[in-house]
Amino acid sequence: MKVSTYRTKITPKGKFFPCYLMGHAIRTKPATGILDDLWATALVLEVDGEQLVWVTVELIGLTREFTDRIRSAISQKYVASAEAVTVSFTHTHSAPEYEERRNSMIFGEGAVPGYMDWVEQQILSAVGGCFETGFTEAELFANKVTIDGCYGNRNGKEKPGDPSFVTLEFRSGDSVVAGAFSFACHSTVLGPQNLCVSGDLAGYAARSLKEKWGVYPVAMIGAAGDMSNRLYRRGNDEAELRRVGDQMMHQVFAAGGGGEPLALHRPEIRTFRYRETFYPDPAEKRRQYDSIRDKVEHAKTFDERKVYSSALRIAEIGLKSSGPFDFDLECRYVNLGDLRLFLMPAELFARFGLQIKDAMGGRCPVCWCYSNYSAGYLADREDYGKSFETSASDIPAGTTEKIVEKAIAFIQNEHQQSGGVLQ
């Protein structure tokens, strides 16, 4: 296999600063500084003559229109199809707003005009940099560590969570020439009091890995819909980010070992798509809004007021919308042999990510969420309506179970079509 990686800076400076940070409705002031730089990181992998392009952008989100345009441009210039291109985001809540429309899910004043046009060019430059600098023959090694005491299911420690931290090292001899990592946790260590641009926990992990490897990795954020450091939190500032980040990465590096070698074959890419039209009840949307407003007004803790303030903002937007809601979830199953990826554009609850990884099997299954766009939270029926993630949702309870059941059946069918090779 051959690999190449390159990154470009997307830190808002000059005419793009100050800006509003996205992620907390309770935060109403613009950013005042830069805690750490933000990056667009690209990795191009070539296996048996076929190329995959992986991009991670250190923002809270990206629109489908934005990533479709980028993926199309990359495929037209470099690779066979747009399905081979993934443009994901780390979901940090301390990065600039990315939408300019005032009726979207923004919590501040919207993106600084021109910023996302510049980000788009920086993404394309990162991918171009991979091809311009050339490819290196490499072998792939995976390490998996179970993280303890840093983060977990934020709706209850007793609830299902995914504490695994996976690193993927592309090595040429003794050198790491490209890399990636996957973990399932919200990058929300920094709270709404923070007014500095930061990649938060995912960015901290990436910087730590760069110090060890010499290359900045692509981040594959997992099923983190209900995962964060909320129930392990001792603060919400830069010192807490260092504490959590150091504790997490110490466990990653302490595991040691050379990693498990992964054998890859020509990529097999299949698309799984779930579409359904929902018809929200206006009366129910009003009830949701009133219920959330009551929770904000009677919040017992700052964290409770923080999360339900964001839910209230979403509920306000929901009251202004009318008519049916077209839900469209376009996923990818990428089989590379020992490495298997299921790409889901959503904030999937952890228990479902575990189910999907179990269905994929193989030596290194990765559920890669926040990829290409986000269709919103996909929560379980049991917790539906009991937490802020679903308090203002137009996606009916039970939908996630239906989606995941069909996705697993899809994966199993792909295994059968391959004559059991993928089992």
User: In this predicted model, what pLDDT tens digit does every residue of 55-91 receive, in sequence order?
Assistant: 999 999 999 999 999 999 999 999 879 999 999 999 9
Average pLDDT value over all residues in the chain = 94
Question: Among the listed ranges 3-17, 98-112, 317-331, 408-422, which one has the minimum average pLDDT value?
Answer: 98-112
Q: Which of these ranges, 215-219, 309-313, 340-344, 399-403, has the smallest mean pLDDT?
A: 309-313
The answer on pLDDT for 335 being more than 50 is: yes
CB neighbour class for 238 (10 Å; exposed up to 12, middle 13-18, buried from 19): middle
CA distance 422 to 401: 24
The yes-or-no verdict on residue 105 having pLDDT over 70 is no
pLDDT at 106: 53
- Least Cα distance to 228 among 117, 423, 389 occurs for 389
Q: Which residues have CB under 8 Å from 132's CB, separation 6+? A: 6
Helix orientation angle between 302-320 and 282-297, rounded to the nearest 10 degrees: 160
Decide if pLDDT at 125 tops 80.
yes
* Greater model confidence, 416 or 171: 171
Indicate if the pLDDT at residue 104 is higher than 70: no
Q: What is the mean pLDDT of residues 157-182?
A: 97
Does the pLDDT value for residue 383 go beyond 90?
no
Mean pLDDT of 356-371: 97
Residue 397: is its pLDDT beyond 80? Answer: yes
Pairing outcome for strands 33-34 and 196-197: parallel
Average pLDDT over residues 33-56: 98
